[in-house]
Amino acid sequence: MKTLSNPIYPVIWQDDRVILIDQTRLPEEYHTVEISSCQAMAEAIKTMIVRGAPAIGVAAGYGMYLGAREIADSDRQKFLHQLEAIAEMLRKTRPTAVNLFWAISRMVQTAQESRGTVAEIKATLLETAKAIQQEDLQTCRAIGDHGLSVLPDKPQATILTHCNAGSLATAGYGTALGVVRSAWREARLQRVYADETRPRLQGAKLTAWECVQEGIPVTVITDSMSAHCMREGKIDLVVVGADRIAANGDTANKIGTYSLAIIAQAHNVPFYVAAPFSTIDFSLPDGSKIPIEERNVTEISQIGTTSLCPEGADFYNPAFDVTPAKLIAGIITEKGVLKPHLLNN
Ligand code: MRU
């Protein structure tokens, strides 16, 4: 068994404010930002200083508390009314990851159900935000450990992952990278292959950074290399995270996940999703209704400030896609590995 080095926490509650690792500046610079208002938190989620579905949920929980703290009214009904406006502002930050909406709803419900003074409700909201964070950490560790059961019957596996579903994308430990971390701890991992993940390069920048921090062997490939690597027999299994899973198991995750699942099926490589149970949106029967965020086209037309393409070209920049359940071998949750078509059971 290997000992893991210092954990990475993307969201920290400290001295009455939130400290976020600025994920837009990694791996060049490790820089943190202090967030003391719900507006600043909304901006940090929009601009992807904090990103990854569960981490967005954790950040939104604290964002709700920061907003509640600013409400001067001590009348309960007026307080709840203003809190709903804060919830609405935070809901508008990013549309796809259900964890955002789940965490905000939990905070709103906590406030509505709290008896006592407004000051007491505010204190309860802070405790709830902390609980969301702690629970996610426990959940990710459980996901990682359940993931050990899907590793192939050989001493050490190679895992391909897409985007970043690691500590940076959660309260810590990660979902897909949670499986990687648990496998590494148990000496069951040979190497991680990380898709670079165009256009924002979360795989090349963030997944590779996390692995290097912990001494986990990582090879970065471009998104177009996965079929070739599978044909060469380099990949034993694929494990990715999820932003929202519909009731039938269809799964939204970072753009490029769907094509990766098709490629995996063509090469008989098992394709797994790792996600907390709260990422399942039982209100959506299938993936067709999952809202897909479209981001600024400069993410694909430029590298930094340098334009890549001729003037006059048009661009389309969906940030997520939906992988049909039939391509998914299993969904690794904190409750165990579930068959995608049996989520309702
Ligand atoms: O746009 P991002 O970087 O927030 O997208 C992140 C992903 O797609 C992750 O795979 C997903 O949120 C799961 S994170 C545990």
Domain of residue 78, CATH code: 1.20.120.420
CA pair distance 24, 322, nearest whole angstrom: 25
Give yes or no: residues 273 and 304 share one domain: yes
**Residue 257 Cα, ligand 1 centroid: separation in angstroms?**
11
Residue 240 sits in a domain whose CATH number is 3.40.50.10470
CA 119 to the chain's CA centroid: 32
Mean pLDDT of 114-125: 96
57 lines ligand 1 (CB under 6 A): no
Distance between CA atoms of residues 276 and 278, nearest Å: 5
| Residue pLDDT, tens place only, 15-24 | 999 999 999 9
Averaged over 114-135, what is the pLDDT? Answer: 97
Question: Can you give the pLDDT at residue 16?
Answer: 96
Say yes or no: CB of residue 53 within 6 Å of ligand 1: yes
Domain identity same for 172 and 248 = yes
Question: Does the beta carbon of 63 lie inside 6 Å of ligand 1?
Answer: no
Distance CA 315, CA 2 (A): 46
* The pLDDT of residue 319 is above 90: yes
Task: Given the residues 145, 195, 236, 243, select the one marked as catalytic.
Answer: 243
Please give the structure tokens belonging to residue 170.
Answer: 């959660």
Ligand 1 contact via 254 beta carbon (within 6 Å): yes
Q: Write out pLDDT tens, residues 45-68.
A: 999 999 999 999 999 999 999 999
Do both 165 and 42 map to the same domain? no
63-83 confidence digits (pLDDT tens): 999 999 999 999 999 999 999
pLDDT score, position 153 = 94
Q: Is the peptide bond before 10 cis (omega within 30 degrees of 0)?
A: no
Residue nearest to atom 5 of ligand 1 (CA): 52
Handedness of CA 144, 163, 194, 200 (dihedral sign): negative
pLDDT at residue 2, rounded to an integer: 52
Cα of 153 vs centre of ligand 1, distance in Å, is: 29
* CB-facing half-sphere around the CA of 163: CA atoms within 13 A: 27
Measured from the Cβ of residue 229, the count of other Cβ atoms closer than 10 Å reads: 19
Domain final position from 124, 142, 160: 142
Residue 1 has pLDDT above 90, yes or no: no
CA 279/CA 137 separation, integer angstroms:
15
Could you give the 3-state DSSP secondary structure of residue 266?
Answer: helix
Asked if 243 is an active-site residue, the reply is yes
Same domain for 126 and 25, yes or no, is: yes
Inter-residue contact 134 to 171 (CB < 8 Å): yes
Q: Is residue 147 part of a domain?
A: no
For the chain, the domain total comes to 2
Classified as helix, coil or strand, 333 is strand
**Segment 131-180, tens digit of pLDDT:** 999 999 999 999 999 999 999 999 999 999 999 999 999 999 999 999 99
Counting from 1 in the atom list of ligand 1, the atom nearest the Cα of 53 is: 12
What pLDDT is stored for residue 341 in this prediction? 85
Is residue 205 located within the same domain as residue 336?
yes
Are 128 and 203 contained in the same domain?
Answer: no
Q: Give residue 16 CA to ligand 1 midpoint distance, Å.
A: 27
Looking from the CA of residue 23, the nearest atom of ligand 1 is 3
Residue 46 sits in which domain range? 11-142
95 Cβ closer than 6 Å to some ligand 1 atom: no
Is residue 122 in some structural domain? yes
Q: State the distance from the centre of ligand 1 to the C-alpha of 183, rounded, in angstroms.
A: 21
Burial of 64 (0-12, 13-18, 19+ CB in 10 A): buried
pLDDT of 12 above 60: yes
CA of 40 to the centre of ligand 1 (A): 21
What is the average pLDDT value for the chain, to the nearest integer?
A: 96
pLDDT of 5: 56
Angle at Cα 174 formed by Cα 168 and Cα 180, nearest 5°? Answer: 120
Distance between start and end Cα atoms, the chain = 36
User: What pLDDT is recorded for position 107?
Assistant: 98
Q: Residues 47, 174: one domain?
A: no
| Tens digits of residue pLDDT in 248-305 | 999 999 999 999 999 999 999 999 999 999 999 999 999 999 999 999 999 999 988 8
Residue nearest to atom 8 of ligand 1 (CA): 254
